[in-house]
Structure 1
């Protein structure tokens, strides 16, 4: 019997592919550039699937956009707008006669943490994914909560009061990790404003010229957590996205969260502090979460190792 599944994480720059077994052990990984034209995009995926077709028993996709996990229908497509209105289930199931699932990339990250990561065993939690904007996946009653329109957890769209509302007034703008890196590098005079290594070298050294920028960023995320906690009363929130590989990110968010609470004694007394941790999985999160969605769809008995 074929033991592995093919998990595919579609990003605006690269497509990551992995062969993963039923217990979540990654057997092999690769990545290819993402074509930005529909025909070339589908041809690339078909070619990669054909290469491993004899080894797999299902295909799991993680993808940007609003995803109907029941039909596989993609809306909007994020950085890949040509995917709007496309169903990967309709596109690939007739060709390969295999079970296929599709899930939003932020929600895939949450599922990976629920299955094998730092939300394992948590009834009510949140994976908060910091990137260009802020994605998220809510775990309520031990399950991913997607909402009526499959858009629960789109934290970028949380608004702040404004006389003339714009995207600048959203947490997706003020809590953007990409925006943070660019702001720090502008002050440093770094040629490449997207150079995360340069930005975090200065942040980790607590360079007085840029550390206040980082503190303000962490405080934005902390305020968001305060508001989420007031509504949902979660057990645990895990911080994901590329910058979460830097321990100082979760540490500073936790510090700012506690400082906000300490400044509001009534809130501190009334609302229980939520645990804030980092995600266990970084680059592999979407691959693992996509597979977990496929297994849930198939109603298979899942292997849930203790952490």
Structure 2
């Protein structure tokens, strides 16, 4: 069975794995992401690839930023701005003589769910990744949509508050799980504002302040889902991100969506509510999704979604 080398480039860690074309992980590892510049970063990646050279038939990469999947070029690079303009075909395809693929990390996670997870066989739907902002991907006609500028599904750019004067009024901040956790910990007087475990201990225990902040947050997420549903008419919405492991998250988003629909007659009676479920994949989602994107590209199936 053919094997592929997959990289998941993150702001904290560079994850890598060797998989077969059925999605079985043969081995995987990670290293702290090199942030000192492109040359040092590539040196690290080349050292990893050289270890497996001769054992893979392709290289797949997931990373932040706007990704030109046609020409294999990274734009912006998120928290790694030195990746802006990096041509993966030249840097890896030409160097190792194998097919290469590169995909946005949010879209890669959605592809993982399409291939082997909660979006498998779903004709229309979406995935929301609730982290520092809101990432994900939109599926229409059984295909992940990239858009004319490779930015379809960038939900963080939706303007949530029409009176906002800065980024705080956009979906990226309104739907930020990190911001919600910070607000809960601040209300509780916890010293570590990023401690998600402490925040959810209070939420699950029914602490009044924590629950109020959490329910307001889930109402914001429900509003995001409603807005996307009006455009996509999805049958299923998949919730990903670290907080999705908490059962109360999916339950409360569903409750808040229903409460929102009940406020408006036409929403309740005319707009069909999508099924809202937890994502199957967590830490390895981008690994699986990047590989699936490469396999689709090799087989020519990705053309249908462009």
Say yes or no: TM over 0.5: yes
Pairs within 5 Å for 1:1-307: 3-36=2-35, 37-163=37-163, 165-299=165-299
What's the CA shift for 1:55?
A: 1.9
Q: What is the CA–CA distance in structure 1 between the aligned matches of 2:266 and 2:14, rounded to whole Å?
A: 48
**How many angstroms apart in 1 are the aligned matches of 2:205 and 2:24?**
36
Deviations 1:110-164 (A, max 9, x none): 1000000001010101011111110120111001100000000000011034445
Listed as ranges, the gaps of 5+ residues in structure 1 are 302-307
CA positional deviation for 1:262:
1.5
TM-score (norm 2): 0.95
Query: Once the 2 structures are TM-superposed, how far is the Cα of residue 270 of structure 1 from its aligned partner?
Result: 0.8
Q: TM-score, normalised by structure 1?
A: 0.94
**CA displacement, residues 58-89 of structure 1 (integer Å, 9 cap, x when unaligned):** 11000000001111111111111111111112
Distance in 2 of aligned mates of 1:300 and 1:4: 19
Classify the secondary structure of the residue corresponding to 1:55: coil
Instruction: Give me the whole-angstrom Cα distance separating, in 2, the residues matched to 1:103 and 1:128.
Output: 16
Q: What is the distance in 2 between the residues matched to 1:280 and 1:264?
A: 32
Take 1:161 and 1:198, find their aligned partners in 2: how far apart are those partners? 29
Residue 198 of structure 1 deviates from its aligned partner by 1.4
Q: Secondary structure at the match of 2:144?
A: strand
Q: RMSD over aligned Cα, in angstroms?
A: 1.4
Give deviations 1:232-265, integer Å, cap 9, x for gaps.
2111110011211212111111110011112222
